[in-house]
Amino acid sequence: MTDKQKPLILVVNDDGYEAKGLKAMVEIAKTFGEVVVVVPDRVRSANGHAITMNEPLHVRQYLQEDGVAYWRTNGTPVDCVKLGQRVVLRNRHIDLVLSGINHGSNSSVSVLYSGTMGAAIEASFEYPAVGLSLLDYSPDADFTAAIHFGKRIVKSILENGLPAHTCLNVNFPNVSTEEIKGIKITRQTDGYWYEDMEERVDPYGRKYYWLTGYLVDTDQQPDTCEWALKHNYISVQPVHYDMTDYKHFNDIKYLEDVE
């Protein structure tokens, strides 16, 4: 197969160009096609679906290695997708967008805050897209199992495709390859973050605040992402950008009668 026949894969992330998870994602992507990387020039975690509108965007190539072109930008993860599409690749057809591999899971309500998933959702407007995350926040996390199963997941997606405008939120438990029990197709856990603002004092005596908290799992059913991760399964969850609450659509019809 020639390079022109290989799938074109755009790799983005929210942990920045120095992240170990990016190297793991590129290792997966290189197995299957031509790879172009567009990532933030610093950590952009928890940027959600933010875009840059009030300052200039810059993007420049910083590396060409093993056939992979690496670009970085001062923008957000979603900006990386837009710049990859319109500037770096000049509107070439993209066969797959891969976002991650994120340091830390993006299960439950975290999908709303995640820059990794923000980029995947943005890409899904036009292309098949997958966000991959590992339940380990350490900068030196071990991505061995994520690479092993990530290759299998990407291969299957390239062969079978994804529904239009639907991306996948893939979360790996932090265990060895041998300890992973398999893959579960899951729904988003019905949970929320219990949050607090921890007050601290800087060296000049000025107060500042640090967001802390933990996930409260109010669901704990075996078809959820949190259950899968806690039981050493890979959670694969379909995500759509349409946030309409169809279940309760008719429950607020009374508002149409308001005069």
| pLDDT of the residue at 34 | 97
Tell me if the pTM is above 0.85.
Answer: yes
Identify which of 97, 81, 100, 95 has the alpha carbon closest to the alpha carbon of residue 24.
Answer: 100
For tokens 């993006």, name the residue.
106
| pLDDT of the residue at 213 | 86
How far apart, in whole angstroms, are the C-alpha atoms of residue 156 and residue 153?
Answer: 5
Question: What does the block give as tokens for 109?
Answer: 């309500």
From residue 115, how far is each of 7, 15, 49, 60, 247 by CA, in Å? 24, 9, 7, 21, 27
The answer to whether 32 touches 155, Cβ cutoff 8 Å, is yes
| pLDDT of the residue at 54 | 95
* pLDDT < 70 stretches in the chain: 1-4
Count the neighbouring beta carbons within 10 Å of the beta carbon of residue 144. 11
The answer to whether 184 touches 235, Cβ cutoff 8 Å, is yes
The answer to whether 132 touches 167, Cβ cutoff 8 Å, is no
**For 157-186, what is each residue's pLDDT tens digit?**
999 999 999 999 999 999 999 999 999 999
| pLDDT of the residue at 215 | 82
